[in-house]
Structure 1
Amino acid sequence: MGLRLSKNRFKKSQNKAFENTSIAETNARHASSQTVDLSHTYGHHECQMSQVAEVDLHTHLNECRKNPGHVNFIPIGKFAMEHLPEGHHDIDLYELIKATADLTVRVGVNMVSYRRPQFFPNTSVRYPFNDMGGNKLTRSGTGQISVYRYVEGCGYNASGSKYNGLGKQFDSAHKVCTCSKCRQSDTPSKEWWEIIVYTAAHVVFDATEGDHTSCRLFYDDASSPKVILDQLHVINVNVERDSCHMKHVTCDVTLGGKLYAMDKICSDLWNKVRDKYVIRYGERLTFIVSHPHGCHKQVSVGQWMDNAIVGELNESMYLSKLTYTTSTCPGSSGARVYCLGFRGYSHVHNGALDTGLNYSSVDYCTKSTMLLM
């Protein structure tokens, strides 16, 4: 597929909002980096491998070479308005980041599939862990969840809509819950929730790995209770786009209802913030909530540099890939990348380039807002 890059770059005047932040001081090293051809460009993946579960993960955190001291990461419990750049002290933006964190999960995988390819598609770049088939070492990434409510097979997203952005209905062929408990019950629940986990394909490659995957919810600090989602079913993997979607089904009203309400808050805030900032010329703030080194949630804030068009989805959507200065570490692979200034959708973090920039998966963005860039 051909590649077109957005041409407008950061100007010094557009960076003033970031000049007084410690985050900006680090990111400024990359602000003049040259645009890279992303059509078949892959850097270093950012899964975290570990030998001895939690103890080993904290060792990796303390010995990190990419971001020693993690000065550009803010623990979610300490994240405050002043961590946002000048000109972005916006309560809606602040609440959006907090709401995003509520839906961010640590993804843990304990199996490497034998089906991993030798190389990334159409490249000679080796695919992560392709020579480790059958290995049961733990690796960690990040994901974000969306929640759908079903009543007798009629599906609704957190905004109450029955249709996704492409006009497809959420309805299920099933009229009752299919969780493990309901499958063994004579009276399965007619109401249930489907929790969809979005991450990267190099984190969870296929159904084999999905069967050995769990997600930790609400891991905000060292004292957070362990809330684990397992029994995950891989529903979609796209190796070329480097995206993976998994599903967990539950009729637990407490968990399902709580997550559904959180998703609604996040969705409403994202729509408000996205619409507010998309009309601001030169807007480039990017934030990521992830689990660096498999440890508790951290927020990082930076700027997106390029929105590279790698294909066309339909008459109104492009497929694109992002680069950005927002700090990430091993363990950040699969985290949602939120960019202000254009209508992008579900890009997730993929890895780091030798230039110092980070890059995303391929996902779609609207053609209309590309005209504003």
Structure 2
Amino acid sequence: MAARTVRLRVHYTSWDRPDGYSFSGHRGSDIPHTGSGWVRNVDIVHGPCPCPECSQSSAPSQDWFRLHVETACHVVFNTEEARATKVDFFYDDAKSRVEEKMQTIRAIKILLQDEKADTCTLVCATHSQLLGSELLQCLKETEKIKFFGPPTVWSLP
């Protein structure tokens, strides 16, 4: 399960962030805050990759991975904040970056949000075959683990 855990670095606080939420006093600022999440799903997609790098390219990658990352609304409130969020995979400690284990991509948007339950699903995209393959393998290995607790708040479309 640890391999499915991500660190989120949010570099913008939306003007729409509700009163009482963490960082609501910093609306409109680029003061970073961090949180965590976990990879729920990875899909292989054929068609133009919507990652920020490919969006700026005249020849975007045509094979990419769509990732769904679960986190809390108080970490990433809306799509505006999602677009300013860096998602770090395989971050164990400060050495992870130096040892080049950590991989980072940007979130694209919020797919689902439930403020009352304080949960949201981020959509991320990567055309990194290495990252996509590693995450698919992690999901395959953890499929057999049984989770006990409350049912999920929603199911993905």
Q: How many Å apart are 1:185 and its aligned residue?
A: 4.3
Change over 3 Å in CA distance of 1:151–1:207 after alignment to 2:
closer
Rounded Cα–Cα distance in structure 2 between residues aligned with 1:229 and 1:114: 24
- 1:210-243 per-residue CA deviation (whole Å, 9 max, x = no partner) reads 1221121111233213421224322222212211
Structure 1 Cα separation of the partners of residues 31 and 61 of structure 2:
37
Misfit runs of 4+, over 6 Å: none
Structure 2 residue aligned with 1:116: 17
What is the aligned partner in structure 2 of residue 213 from structure 1?
A: 85
Give the Cα–Cα distance (whole angstroms) in 2 for the partners of residues 213 and 194 of structure 1: 16
Partner residue in 2 for 1:148: 42
Map 1:257-268 → 2, pairs under 5 A: 257-268=133-144
1:290-309 → structure 2 map (5 Å cutoff): none
- Aligned pairs for 1:26-65 (under 5 A) are none
* Contact preservation (8 Å) 2:51, 2:108: no
- State the AA in 1 paired with 2:137: A
**Ranges in structure 1 where 5+ consecutive residues have no aligned partner:** 1-99, 119-125, 153-174, 275-338, 347-362, 365-373
CA distance in 2, matches of 1:263, 1:105: 14
Alpha-carbon distance between aligned partners in 1 of 2:49 and 2:12, rounded to the nearest angstrom: 28
Match of 1:196 among 44, 68, 73: 68
Residue 61 of structure 1 corresponds to none
The residue aligned with 2:118 is 242
Q: Distance in 2 between matches of 1:345 and 1:186?
A: 42
Deviation at residue 151 of structure 1 after TM alignment: 4.7
Q: Deviations over 1:337-365 (max 9, x none)?
A: xx63x5x444xxxxxxxxxxxxxxxx36x
Displacement of 1:147: 3.4
CA distance in 1, matches of 2:139, 2:49: 20
Q: 8 Å contact 2:51–2:106 — kept in the other structure?
A: no
- Greater percentage in strand: 2
2:109 aligned to 225, 229, 233, which one? 233
Please tell me whether residue 105 in structure 1 is matched to residue 6 in structure 2.
yes
Instruction: Decide whether aligned partners of structure 1 residues 241 and 149 sit closer, same or farther in structure 2, where only a CA change above 3 A counts.
Output: same
1:88-133 alpha-carbon deviations (Å, 9 max, x no partner): xxxxxxxxxxxx1001011111222111223xxxxxxx33333321
Q: Which AA in structure 2 matches 1:149? A: D
Cα distance in 2, alignment partners of residues 215 and 187 from structure 1:
21
Q: CA RMSD in A?
A: 2.4
Larger Rg: 1
SS in 1 for 2:77: coil
Pair 1:257–1:211, CA change in 2 (3 A): same
| Letter aligned with residue 78 of structure 2 | D
> Which AA in structure 2 matches 1:140?
T
